[in-house]
Amino acid sequence: MDRNLLKGILYVGIGAASYGVLATIVRLAYNEGYSTTEVTFAQYLPGLVVMGCLWLFREKTPRKASGNGGTSENRKTPENSRTPESRRDAWKLIAGGTCYGLTGFFYYLSVQYLPVSICVILLMQTIWMGVVLESLLATRWPGISKIIAMVIVLLGTVLATNVLSARGSLHLQGLLWGLAAAVTYTVSLYVSNSVATGMSPQKKGFFILLGGTAMVLAVGLLNMPAQFHFSIFWKWGLLLALFGTIVPPLLFNVGFPKTGIGLGAIIIAIEIPVSVSMAWLLLHERVNGWQWLGIVLIIVSIVIMNLHLLRKELVKASS
């Protein structure tokens, strides 16, 4: 197998697994008495600082000398030139990043009311929501394979959330927050995958995080606890930022060009079993056989939805 492809699979897999660990860390922070505002501040603020430093470090790294004796410091590259188009892209990323910030806030609110293993399933409703958004923007109906995949996702969700046998124990507010997180996550993924595709991962990640942090600060100030516990930053902040705002976006931006969208979207599904397994291991949440079957169905739907892209990528790689 091609080494670049293997690297891409590894990058995307580690990024997805990082997201899978995140909700369990949040629940552990909740168990120590920290609020949603404190948790989101501890994730986004350090993440923004680190991503900004990575971008600045990359910009200041000396470029190789050019063939005519000059250096790239004397010649602005398209990425570094401040054209009106690049400024528009930056503002689009910041605007899309606000949805990224709302995703974290909504998702962590759902974790307050529901088991982590159910919250991640609700977040994964972005699978069919993405298809709906794509169809609305293209003003055409999705293909039959995508419609079948959407039905399988919904069936898998019913099983994975254990909604039929646990109707009384599933908090309605938690369900609504989880679905709201899926909506904003769908929008942020669309922006991330369609805007400024030629921009460096560090720079792109910084602008998205800038918008996300601004939204987190705005919402957080409206929900500020009576006493803000700054200890959240050194107790959980590094882990929250590392697994939530630093590692996944960097690895996805590097890994997806190597794997292609089809294979990458399938690999990213590892977030679901990782999240559920971490909740079982560290939080002792119980997951029955029907729930595992639902999780398998959701992963199968992701494979079906991206099978045509995977075939194209395999044909292109073999030619």
Tens-digit pLDDT profile for residues 196-210: 777 888 888 899 999
The number of residues making up the chain comes to: 319
Q: What is the mean pLDDT of the chain?
A: 83
> What pLDDT does residue 261 have?
63
pTM across the whole model: 0.83
**Does residue 45 have a pLDDT over 90?**
yes
pLDDT greater than 60 at residue 79: no
Question: What is the SS3 assignment for 250?
Answer: helix
**Phi, psi (rounded to 5 degrees) for 65:** -65, 145
Taking alpha carbons only, the member of 116, 179, 159 closest to residue 288 is: 159
pLDDT at 217: 93
Higher pLDDT, 194 or 219: 219
Residue 72: its pLDDT value, please? 43
Task: Please give the Cα distance from 303 to 146 (Å, whole number).
Answer: 10
26 vs 112: CA distance, rounded Å: 9
pLDDT at 230: 92
Give the mean model confidence (pLDDT) for residues 112-123: 90
Q: What is the pLDDT confidence band of residue 187, given thresholds at 50, 70 and 90?
A: confident
Cα(45)–Cα(76) distance, integer angstroms = 30
Angle at 24 between CA 111 and CA 219, to 5 degrees: 45
Q: How far apart are CA 150 and CA 201, in angstroms?
A: 31
| Structure-token pair, residue 285 | 């949440």
CA atoms within 13 A on the CB side of 240: 27
- For the ranges 7-21, 83-97, 221-235, the lowest mean pLDDT is seen at 83-97
What's the pLDDT at 74? 44
Lowest mean pLDDT among 44-53, 197-206, 237-246, 262-271: 262-271
> What is the pLDDT at residue 24?
94
Q: Please state the rounded mean pLDDT for residues 61-67.
A: 54
pLDDT at 91 > cutoff 80 = yes
Q: Both tokens of residue 180?
A: 């709201």
What pLDDT does residue 211 have?
93
What is the DSSP code string of 173-220?
Answer: HHHHHHHHHHHHHHHHHHHHHHS-TTS-HHHHHHHHHHHHHHHHHHHH
* Residue 225 CB-half CA count within 13 A: 13
pLDDT at residue 167 in the model = 56
Query: Taking 50 as the threshold, does the pLDDT of residue 83 lie above it?
Result: yes
State the burial class of residue 86 (Cβ atoms within 10 Å of its Cβ: 0-12, 13-18, 19+). Answer: middle
Rounded distance between C-alpha atoms, residue 252 and residue 238, angstroms: 20
Per the DSSP assignment, residues forming a β-bridge with 65 are 71
Neighbour tally for 134: CB within 10 Å: 14
CB atoms within 10 A of CB 313: 18
Query: Does position 86 have pLDDT exceeding 50, yes or no?
Result: yes
Residue scoring higher pLDDT (128 or 193): 128
Rounded average pLDDT over 27-45: 93
Q: Give the pLDDT confidence score for residue 69 in this predicted structure.
A: 46
- Tokens 């079906």, located at residue: 304
pLDDT at 317 over 70: no
Q: What confidence tier does 131 reach under pLDDT thresholds 50, 70, 90?
A: confident
Q: Say if CB 133 and CB 275 are below 8 A apart.
A: no
**Model confidence at 48, in pLDDT bands (50, 70, 90)?**
very high
Q: What is the reported pLDDT for 240?
A: 93
In this prediction, what percent of the chain has a pLDDT beyond 90?
32
192 CB-near residues (< 8 Å, 6+ apart): 96, 100, 204, 208, 249
Residue 168 has pLDDT above 60, yes or no: no
